[in-house]
Amino acid sequence: MTQFSVSIPLYTIAVILFIWYLVVVGLAYNGFVEIFRKFNNSLRSKIDCKIIDSELEGVSILRPIKGVDPEMEICLQSSFQQDYALDKFEIIFCVQDSKDPAINLVERLIAKYPHVDAKLMIDDQANKANYGPNPKVNNLAKGYKAAKFDILWVQDSNVWSRPDVLRRSVYSLTHSLDNGRTTKRPVKLIHHAPMATCLTQNGELSSLGAQLDEMFLATSHSKFYVSLNKVAVAPCVNGKSNLYKRSELDDAVKKMGDLAEVASIDGQSGDRLQDAKYYSLTPGEGLRFFARYIGEDNMIGIALWDFGHGRTGMTGDCVMQPSSGYNSIFDYCVRRMRWLRVRKYMVLAATLLEPTTECILCGTFGTFAISVLFFNQFFSRAWFVFHVMIWFLTDFIQFHYLFSCVRMNNGSSDTSSTTTGNGSQPFFLNESFNMGFRFKGHRFRSLKKFVPIWILREILAFPVWLVAILGSRIDWRGQPFKIKADLSAERL
């Protein structure tokens, strides 16, 4: 038998990779355990039993609209169906284009729920809001200023939420709770874990792109998203569904602007501090400052963190986006590359390290380190297979657990593609699982359908990251942008 020997430099590399392997696995299972401990009806019940409805603050729900997304009526309808006092919430639908095809849908919903305070705001077509390249912020600005309540729930038009989410979120925001725990640093923003569900066509799961979105959000993304929120060393915010106070965001922008001697002329000078000062001069205009960024969600989180001296919190809830069949592998890759390029400028170090948090690369580095340090060899295939199998099993369990977390156990499943009853469960939460199997009353996706998508997503992770990291151009809503070094975006 040949003697195994390794040089000092290679041994040092193995030690470094072993430490990083422990960090990644630790973060992954920190998120996995947090999901199992906090994303369930037990935690929800503990929070809900403390809520006194008469003490809940008012909320303005802002939903930016652009075009018609899959099952959008059900998604928007979930705002009307929130279990909240009618005199304590309003819904503002924000549209920029007077010819937007979603307007008829919104007007139909408003007419369907006359007892709910809801309205549609459309930009003046001769003078559309343009505070920067971010179309979502430009669209939301009017609703942000017109909202009659201080607490804002900004929720994308293509996500659905359970009827009990708003009560729990407002209570957590006003009582500084993160997944039911009281935090040392005050919670200034509540966010919900984003998920997607793949719609079916003719009894089969739709396109690969939709299935990849579903897989990514319910496995890799969610475990690290939840973990980073718990660790709370910096904000990590996805803008699908966020609650915060307008007064606190305006105050954060004001404190940013206080660092400048003078305000800019129009808020679009390119000088971050002077522009912040400009938007802090008039109440209710703080959101407009963030139109310079494509990733406004995380930048809002950073502002509330750095200048509001707060942190983010979660409630054990997810929001669900139905994904259609018109969604290819290429579409999935483009979306991932777009947000990776945005994140590259926000958190460069984390983005550079991101591929090492994926199963294959993490397992490769970890296997090399463990093999050198403990097995007297360069690469133990047995350990790599063990690593992949454990990672897969973790993802399989977490995937189904999160879907069960979103479902309402006492809600009837509506088979209609356009309507749900008050508080009923939309059909798309169960539809794609009807082709799987049941075990002890729980629904599971069949391994024949789950395994190939899981493998494909893992294989795509590194090449998608590599292409994203080498470029700076992104396409958003049909418009090309370039992300600049100061994190702002420039239309091309």
Sequence-ordered alpha helix ranges (H) in 49-164? 72-80, 103-112, 135-146
Distance of CA 362 to the CA centre of its chain: 23
CA distance 130 to 489: 13
To the query of whether residue 297 is one of the catalytic residues in this protein, the response is: yes
**What are the phi and psi torsion angles at 181 (to 5°)?**
-95, 140
344's CB contacts (< 8 A; 6+ apart) are: 351, 468, 469, 483
CA distance 25 to 355: 13
Of 297, 317, 395, 414, the catalytic one is 297
CA-only gyration radius of the chain, Å: 23
* DSSP 8-state code for residue 58: P
Sequence-ordered alpha helix ranges (H) in 175-245? 208-216, 222-231
Look-up: residue for tokens 């391994």? 447
55's CB contacts (< 8 A; 6+ apart) are: none
Structure tokens at 384: 């790599």
| 63 neighbors 73 (Cβ within 8 angstroms) | no
**Neighbour-count burial of 364, counting CB atoms closer than 10 A to its CB (0-12 exposed, 13-18 middle, 19+ buried):** middle
**CA nearest neighbour of 308 among 235, 236, 239:** 235
Cα distance from N-terminal residue to C-terminal residue, the chain: 63
**CA nearest neighbour of 227 among 10, 421, 81, 33:** 33
Q: What positions carry a catalytic annotation?
A: 297
